[in-house]
């Protein structure tokens, strides 16, 4: 197996620079059309694949991002690890706009999205107790530090449906009662689907604002967010450029992300739906055909 680092770019991150032999490649998926073509190339001898989550021109909302098609397309390309970079609001005074957070937990409050590749005809229950890959997250942390980025180790990301920002009552609930650190609209179900696809996943949340709980920041303003977003996007691209050198050649995941489906599928072989199995060829081919 060869390492291929996938990067999913969030708001403000619609391309990455410096790839050798770079080309935008269309990838077909039985789960729909991915957000965009995928920019493939090589960086320091490591294969890379970049996908802008909202599409170039930011035409997809957090609800309409085709999360399953995106993860499936990455799997079909041979991506072994996904680094997600996302804009987020902060619930903590010390996580200031411009800071990065290496997310390690999520609370999923999204409700209008398809969240699994599995279902009737092939039921599977993957564990997401530890929803990010510790090894990949450590590499991202190192890359941030090497770039001189102010980075926080660990944080709980509240994934909301959006597209509106939170009410003050919601913001206080997530911060004061639920102990969340940051808030965004896209990392769920992306992280869950990456786990089902047995792809290591790390999330770097880039703080753009203090949401609306902060006494000095009355309401979230997209104009202010965009100002911070541009600087964050530059830092994200610099961080990503350091990853190939830090990760080195492929090795099986010591945390087991690449074996997440080993005991997950419950449906008896004779009860499995051939049409669903065909769609699962990339995501679950290792366990279904192995
Ligand atoms: C730009 S403000 C809200 C928007 O930004 C984040 O997107 P992403 O996670 O893709 O960086 C947030 O989740 C919202 O979709
Ligand atoms: N405050 C916020 N809430 C949800 N998503 C965001 N993305 C950036 N800032 C956000």
Q: What is the pLDDT of residue 13?
A: 97
**Long-range contact set of residues 218-227: C-beta below 8 Å, sequence gap at least 24:** 219/165, 220/89, 220/165, 225/11, 225/87, 226/12
185 lines ligand 2 (CB under 6 A): yes
207 lines ligand 2 (CB under 6 A): no
Q: What is the pLDDT of residue 131?
A: 98
**Long-range contact set of residues 30-36: C-beta below 8 Å, sequence gap at least 24:** 30/72, 30/278, 30/279, 30/281, 31/66, 31/68, 31/69, 31/72, 31/117, 31/279, 32/66, 32/68, 32/69, 33/66, 33/69, 34/66, 34/69, 34/70, 34/73, 35/60, 35/65, 35/66, 35/69, 35/70
180 lines ligand 2 (CB under 6 A): no
Residues 155-207 pLDDT 10s: 999 999 999 999 999 999 999 999 999 999 999 999 999 999 999 999 999 99
Query: Cα-atom radius of gyration of the chain, to the nearest Å?
Result: 18
- Expressed in angstroms and rounded, the spacing between residue 54 Cα and the centre of ligand 1 is 9
Q: What is the pLDDT of residue 266?
A: 98
- Expressed in angstroms and rounded, the spacing between residue 31 Cα and the centre of ligand 1 is 23
Q: Measured between alpha carbons, how far is 273 from 153 in angstroms, rounded to an integer?
A: 43
184 lines ligand 2 (CB under 6 A): yes
Q: What is the pLDDT of residue 220?
A: 86
Closest alpha carbon to 101 in 161, 151, 168, 48: 151
pTM over 0.95: yes
Catalytic positions, written as ranges: 209, 211
97 backbone φψ class: left, alpha, beta (φ>0; ψ -120 to 50): beta
Residues 43-83 pLDDT 10s: 999 999 999 999 999 999 999 999 999 999 999 999 999 99
Which pair of structure tokens corresponds to residue 117? Answer: 């590749």
The pairing of beta strand 38-43 with beta strand 151-153: unpaired
Q: Which has more pLDDT, 36 or 218?
A: 36
Q: What is the pLDDT of residue 217?
A: 85
* Mutational test site, ligand 1, from 7, 51, 54, 62, max ligand atoms within 8 Å of CB: 62
Q: Whose CA is nearest to atom 7 of ligand 2?
A: 88
pLDDT class for 119, splitting at 50, 70, 90?
very high
Q: What is the pLDDT of residue 22?
A: 98
Which pair of structure tokens corresponds to residue 255? Answer: 């945390």
- Expressed in angstroms and rounded, the spacing between residue 40 Cα and the centre of ligand 1 is 23
**Domains of the chain, first to last:** 4-288 (3.40.50.1580)
234 is in an annotated binding site: no
Which ligand has its closest atom nearest to the C-alpha of 182? Answer: 2
Which ligand has its closest atom nearest to the C-alpha of 191? Answer: 1
Which atom of ligand 2 is closest in space to residue 86's alpha carbon? 7
Which ligand has its closest atom nearest to the C-alpha of 8? Answer: 1
ipTM: 0.99
- Expressed in angstroms and rounded, the spacing between residue 182 Cα and the centre of ligand 2 is 8
- Expressed in angstroms and rounded, the spacing between residue 185 Cα and the centre of ligand 2 is 7
Matching residue, tokens 């995941």: 253
Residues 212-258 pLDDT 10s: 999 988 788 898 899 999 999 999 999 999 999 999 889 999 999 99
149 lines ligand 2 (CB under 6 A): no
């Amino acid at each position: 197996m060869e390492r291929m680092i996938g990067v999913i770019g969030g708001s403000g991150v619609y391309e990455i620079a410096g790839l050798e032999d770079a080309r935008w490649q269309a990838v077909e998926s039985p789960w729909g059309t991915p957000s965009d073509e995928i920019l493939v190339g090589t960086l320091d001898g490591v294969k890379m694949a970049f996908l802008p989550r909202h599409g170039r021109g930011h035409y997809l909302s957090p609800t309409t991002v085709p999360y399953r098609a995106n993860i499936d397309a990455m799997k079909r390309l041979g991506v072994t690890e996904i680094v997600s970079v996302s804009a987020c609001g902060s619930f903590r005074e010390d996580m200031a706009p411009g800071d990065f957070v290496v997310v390690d937990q999520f609370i999923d409050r999204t409700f209008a999205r398809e969240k699994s590749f599995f279902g009737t005809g092939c039921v599977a229950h993957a564990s997401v107790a530890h929803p990010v890959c510790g090894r990949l997250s450590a590499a991202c942390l190192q890359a941030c530090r090497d770039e001189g980025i102010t980075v926080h180790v660990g944080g709980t990301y509240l994934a909301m449906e959006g597209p509106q920002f939170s009410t003050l009552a919601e913001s206080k609930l997530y911060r004061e009662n639920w102990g969340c650190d940051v808030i965004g609209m896209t990392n769920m179900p992306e992280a869950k689907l990456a786990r089902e696809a047995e792809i290591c996943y790390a999330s770097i949340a880039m703080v753009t604002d203090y949401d609306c709980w902060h006494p000095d920041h009355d309401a979230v303003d997209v104009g202010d967010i965009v100002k911070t977003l541009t600087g964050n996007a530059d830092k994200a691209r610099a961080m990503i450029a350091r990853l190939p050198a830090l990760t080195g050649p492929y090795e099986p995941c010591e945390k087991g992300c690449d074996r997440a489906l080993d005991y997950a599928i419950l449906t008896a072989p004779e009860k499995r739906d051939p049409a669903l199995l065909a769609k699962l060829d990339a995501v679950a081919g290792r366990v279904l055909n192995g």
